[in-house]
Amino acid sequence: ISDITNSILNSCFCFLRMRMVMIHQNIMTATLIFASSCLALTGQIFTSAFSSGSVIRKHDNIHVVRERRCSLFVPALSPPPLPLVTDPISSSTSLSAIREATFGMGCFWEPAESLLKKPGILATTVGYTGAPPKKKAPTYDAVCFGNYWVEGVRVAYDDELVSYDQVLDYFFQLQKPGYSRQYASVVFANDATEVKQATQWKKERIAKQSDNKISPYEIVEIEPVSPFYKAEEYHQRYWEKQRLRYLIAIALIAGESGAYNDFFDGALGRSEVFGLPFDSICGGVFFVGAAWMLLERLLAGEVKELEQGDLTAAAGD
Which residues are known catalytic residues? 107
Could you give the CA distance from residue 54 to residue 255 in angstroms, rounded to a whole number?
54
**Cα separation of 159 and 123, whole Å?**
13
Residues 138, 143, 147, 148, CA torsion sign: positive
Each residue of 109-123: b (16+ CB within 10 Å) or e?
bbbbbbbeebebbbb
Interacting residues of 167 by C-beta distance below 8 A, sequence separation 6+: 101, 120, 121, 155, 157
How many Å apart are CA 298 and CA 194, to the nearest integer?
A: 38
- Do the beta carbons of residue 217 and residue 283 sit within 8 Å? no
Contact (CB, 8 A) for 131 and 305: no
Cα–Cα dist 172/198, whole Å: 12
Question: Is the Cβ–Cβ distance between 168 and 195 less than 8 Å?
Answer: no
Helix (H, G, I), strand (E, B) or coil at 156: strand
